[in-house]
Amino acid sequence: MNLPEEGRIRALYMVELIVADWLASVAWYRDLLGLAPVLSDAVKQFALFEIGGGRLALKAGVPQPGNGQLAFEVEGLPGLLHRLAERHVASEGPIQDSPESYRRAVIRDPDGHRLCLFEWLP
Per-residue pLDDT at 44: 95
Amino acid symbol at 44? K
User: What's this model's pTM, rounded to 2 decimal places?
Assistant: 0.78
Round the average pLDDT of the chain to a whole number and report it: 90
Task: State yes or no: pLDDT of 97 exceeds 90.
Answer: yes
What domains are there in the chain, each with its CATH number?
Answer: 12-120 (3.10.180.10)
Condensed to tens digits (0 to 9), the pLDDT of residues 31-70 reads: 999 999 999 999 999 999 999 888 999 999 998 877 678 9
Mean pLDDT of the region 5-31: 86
Per-residue pLDDT at 81: 95
Task: State yes or no: pLDDT of 75 exceeds 70.
Answer: yes
Cα–Cα distances in angstroms (integers) from residue 67 to residues 81, 93, 106, 115, 121, in the given order = 22, 17, 13, 11, 26
Closest to 45 in 3D by CA, of 67, 26, 64, 60:
60
